[in-house]
Structure 1
Amino acid sequence: MSKKNNNSNGAGRIASILDDIRDIYLSDARPWVVGYSGGKDSTTALQLIWTAIAALPSERRTKTIYVISSDTLVETPVVSRYIDVTLDRISSAAAAQNMPVVTHKVVPELEDSFWVSLIGKGYPAPSRRFRWCTERLKIQPADAFIKSRVAEFGEVVMVLGVRSQESATRAQVMSLHQIEGSQLRRHSSLMNAFVYAPIADFSTDDVWTYLLQNESPWGNDNRDLVAMYRNASAGECPLVVDTSTPSCGNSRFGCWVCTVVQRDKAMESMIDSGEEWLTPLLEYRDMLSQTQDPERKHEFRDFRRKSGQVNFIGETDRVMPGPYTMEFCRTLLRRLLETQKEVARDAPAGEAPILIHENELHEIRRLWRTERGDWADTVPRIVRETLGRDDIEWVTEDSVAFTADDGELLASVCADNEVPPELVMKLLDIERASHGLKRRHAVHTRIEDAFRLEWRDLDVLVAERRRTLGLEDGSVLAVVDDLELPFDMVGEDGR
């Protein structure tokens, strides 16, 4: 370590950083957006910003500092609670100290939320090969907030607690977008957004030394943060604003449903440290992880893609799995609500999390009813059977909606006539969607599209594939690696 780093948290170095912060803050009218994740790095960055600006005369604190935190709605409850409490304290302290700080939580759009995507649309649990969650749950919500500030002010400065010592890749990305002669960098993807990293040269020891030697200006006890890290044996999950920012994984604080890593060591450590009430969450997460086993994917996932087509892996007769089946999605919803009930029973007072929100249940129901043929309308029934709730006002559909009895009758008629019931359901749903419309010119196109989908059984498709590959003699294909392509690689909807 260099001599500079040996004395890296000396008064002189910190004073120099505080001066830089004030100089950059006063140099223009661009508002600041500080990314706060609740971890050590973002806490250090925000604390330095606060300390520097608080030293200015109140009349010079004219530029708003937005403190944004990303809530994926599936955050680890202990961390989520810590962030909520901290944001409340920051808001109160800002008002009391006349600081130009405004807190804001960014959340994913309803149609992009984790449970709507996983249970409603059938997206498979995220993996290293298909990490669909980061873009939808983190990058898009944060980017939307930044773009709204850009639209309002013309330009913004993002303040991030990123450090070049985190990784060689991070250091390379930071240097790539550096503006010559400035401490700012251009944002890698957002126009008119610039990035300032006040702790870019800090080591991990520098961060902890600063936090333990300097009190939190909004009233937190930084030793609580140390204890949380110790209990989780984990690292920080940063606010993700672009694809170059490292997402969670590697047992970092983050989403309790994360299946990108094989084991959630952070959650396991929390449970071992006395947070036994989190055990049902870990069990649910492990259940999701099991669906990624290549040998078991056929148990949970449809052989058709979301587009209705069937794709094979390379020059083999192995079918590329599609979304979770409707039956398994029902199982996922039921198990999730049972987990929520169990956690609510055992969690400390005031700490029971809401695992799935009511608006997500409504959206899942809508998707199941309109896109996945759930004529039985099973969402209200599952909610009633697991939570015992009759207070939710479910949208009453019109008279052309189909019922479970209709589905049973249709299945019987289709069986007698050797017609796929899913195809007839699809056609009837198309008719229902166009019911009452004066202009129905698109109906014929939708009907044609329905007939183009693959409705044959899997064994028929595999037999045809084997004949195409010259394997009709019963020979066995060599075992190949799991080369599954992303679920929606060729389009947002998997087409």
Structure 2
Amino acid sequence: MSTLQMAHDLGDYEDFINLEQFAGHPLAHYVAEVQRIYCADKRPWVIGYSGGKDSSAVITLVYLALLGLTPKLRSKPIFVVSSDTLVETPVVVDLIIRTMKQIERGAQRDKLPITVHPVVPKTSETFWVNLLGKGYPAPTRNFRWCTERMKINPVSDFIKDKVSQFEEVIVVLGSRSSESASRAQVIAKHKIDGTRLARHTTLANAFIYTPIDTWDVEDVWKLLRGAFRYAEEDEIEEWENPWGGNNRPLWTLYMDSSGQGECPLVIDDSTPSCGNSRFGCWTCTVVTKDRAMESLIQNGEDWMLPLLQFRDQLARTTDPEQKDIYRNYKRRTGKVSYQYAKDGEDIAAERKHVPGPYWLKYRQLWLQELLQLEKNLNAQGHTITLITEPELHAIRQHWLKDPNEPDWNDSLPRLYREVYGRDLAWVVDDQSRFDASDAELLDQLAQHHDVEPEMVKKLIELEISLEGLSKRQGVFDKIGSILKQDWGSLEAIQLKQSALQKRNERDMHEEAIDKIEAQIRDVQTLLAHADQISGLLSEVTTDDH
């Protein structure tokens, strides 16, 4: 090492570091660069770890660099952050948890300033709360609502917290130019002249460092394979990493999945998201087929087959021909919505109905199937959580207050009890609330008086929500917003809208006629005035003669 003297801790790895070539340079070149940038200032590092090969290589490189520093130079903290969407592929989750624990133990043993920090999305932003609770349709390429909520926001919040604590941070990523050209272009665009750092695309006072951006995939596996065959001690084997773990399970995972790479730690909109059969969420419906998961199942992880089948069931609901079956004809605003053709598009597609959230009955069915699936997998010996207790509580509240289909039956506790035979500590609403028998009675009364029962239910819900308040500010606006929603069947709403449109067109036509007639009268008046003036002029001329 030329820049900084190698410490005794790296004695076992010196030959490998000095002799093995990576992208035309010995590994010592990259270790020295990491050491130089680490020691250059007091800005802490945040390393993004996704559980895949590239982020594993970055952590290995940084760990080796720290081992090569004297304890006095290991002066600033390094935070290893891993984002768990709560719907990650189970075998990847197990690998990440195991590796994070090994890194933490290794850092404590070697007295390195490395700590691990798993982050998860807020309960209100998880996959199941949005899909089962709010009824969001399964993500597609055109409506990928999951990435920002589940991946970007948790990591961004962690980085912002460190920025507020330390003023500036450096985010270390495993991005490589050969794997993600678009990401390479973004980093190059934000590169700071004269340094190896780039500005974060969205977060102020955060900077990006990509130490292996020139490596190819063979270089990555060379480091992870750990060709420590140069070491004389037999204790150091291939695939061993410096913190005491073993990378062979990671290699096996890639081989079994036939994947083309890892899901990167997504830190902003420019980071390529998953969606090409890479390791990621087992619920991902952005891809037509989850080939990585299919390959894992074919290569021994057949216990995950029910997960794949559940995922495929959700994917089928995104089929344009299936949307009207699974989704409400109204949006969450309570209005029927249409998409209009843009310039140059087929006139036949001028007005296309846009369905809203999933019907409550399907959300109830899928939740019950998900709970049963979770119970079965755990009964088979797998320690797995498919949906968390906080998510169940949040989903229940969304169902109770659904803008289109309020769950007056409060069905979620019953569904949970039917699967698990026990109750959770459900929140008891001490406010007066209508139940299933009340809903049935309202249906009968509404039909008798020719009004929509759903509208009456929403009005009663509003009354209940304002119960006990001394000031009911804006109550009439709230009542008005309910009355203005589209009520009734889709056919009845469309007939009403068609009649309203025809009436508006007739009114506009009559208004246009009235305007034209008024203009004609104005012209006639002007002509009459002109005739009068002409007559007067003629009289004056005659008198003059």
Alignment TM-score, normalising by the size of structure 1: 0.90
Q: Which amino acid aligns with 1:385?
A: E
Residue 239 of structure 1: aligned partner: 265
In 2, distance between residues paired with 1:286 and 1:177?
39
Q: Percent identity?
A: 45
Give unmatched runs, 5+ long, in structure 2: 1-19, 228-239, 342-349, 503-545
> Which residue of the partner structure matches residue 487 of structure 1?
none
Q: Which residue of 2 aligns with 1:280?
A: 306
**More displaced 10-residue stretch of structure 1: 293-302 or 324-333:** 324-333
Quote the offset at 1:313 in angstroms: 2.4
Describe the SS at the equivalent of 2:115.
Answer: strand
After alignment, is 326-335 or 182-191 more displaced? 326-335
Which position in structure 2 is the counterpart of 1:31? 44
Residue 446 of structure 1 aligns with an amino acid whose one-letter code is: K
User: Who is 2:393 aligned against?
Assistant: 362
The one-letter code sitting in structure 2 at the alignment partner of 1:322 is G
Secondary structure (helix, strand or coil) at the match of 1:313 reads: strand
1:321 maps to 2:346: no
The residue number in structure 1 matching 2:114 is 101
Kept after mapping to 2: 8 A contact 1:317/1:462:
no
Counterpart amino acid of residue 425 in structure 1: K
Number of residues paired by the alignment?
A: 460
Q: Which residue of 1 aligns with 2:467?
A: 435
Amino acid at match of 1:380: P
Asked if residue 188 in structure 1 is aligned to residue 219 in structure 2, the reply is no
The answer to whether the Cα contact below 8 Å between 1:280 and 1:342 also exists between their aligned partners in 2 is no
Aligned twin of 1:210: 223
2:416 matched residue in structure 1: 383
Matches for 1:150-229 after TM superposition, within 5 Å:
150-214=163-227, 215-229=240-254
> What SS class does the counterpart of residue 280 from structure 2 fall into?
coil
Q: 1:330-349 CA deviation, whole Å, 9 max, x = no partner?
A: 11211211221222233xx4
**C-alpha separation in 2, matches of 1:194 and 1:10:** 24
| Contiguous gaps of at least 5 residues in structure 1 | 1-6, 471-495
Corresponding residue for residue 396 of structure 1: 428
3-state DSSP of counterpart to 2:414: helix
Deviation per residue, 1:160-189 (Å, 9 max, x gap): 000011133122112101110000000011
1:279 and 1:338 map into 2 onto residues whose CA distance is 14
Q: Which residue in 2 is equivalent to 1:3?
A: none
1:334 aligns with 2:365: no
SS of the equivalent of 1:318 reads: strand
User: 1:317–1:465: 8 Å Cα contact kept in structure 2?
Assistant: no
For 1:312, the equivalent position in structure 2 comes to 338
The alignment status of 1:259 with 2:292, answered yes or no, reads no
Match of 2:444 in 1: 412
1:269 paired to 2:295: yes
- CA distance in 1 between counterparts of 2:365 and 2:492 reads 28
Describe the SS at the equivalent of 1:66. Answer: strand
**Paired letter, 1:229:** Y
Shift of 1:207: 0.7
Matches within 5 A, 1:133-152: 133-152=146-165
Larger RCO (CA under 8 A, 6+ residues apart): 1
CA RMSD between the two structures: 1.7
Shift, 1:11, TM fit: 9.3
2:63 corresponding residue in structure 1: 50
Q: CA deviation at 1:111?
A: 0.5
1:456 match: 488
Query: Aligned pair in 2 of structure 1 residues 400, 192: CA closer, same or farther (>3 Å)?
Result: same
Cα offset, 1:399, TM superposition: 4.5
Measured in 2, the distance between the counterparts of 1:302 and 1:278 equals 31
Rg bigger for which structure? 2
Kindly indicate whether the alpha-carbon contact (under 8 Å) linking 2:197 and 2:207 is maintained by their aligned counterparts in 1. Answer: yes
Residues 2-31 of structure 1 show CA distances to partners (whole Å, capped at 9, x for unaligned) of xxxxx8428953111111111111111100
Give me the whole-angstrom Cα distance separating, in 2, the residues matched to 1:435 and 1:465.
35
**How far apart are the structure 2 equivalents of 1:326 and 1:344?**
27
Q: CA deviation at 1:467?
A: 6.8
Aligned to 1:79: 92
Normalising by structure 2, what TM-score? 0.82
Q: Deviations over 1:99-122 (max 9, x none)?
A: 100100111001111110000000
Distance 1:186 1:377 in 2: 49
Give the C-alpha shift of residue 388 in structure 1.
1.8
Contact 1:37–1:237 at 8 Å: present in 2 too?
Answer: yes
String of CA shifts for 1:368-410, please: whole Å, max 9, x gaps.
11234111000001101122223x1111111412211111111
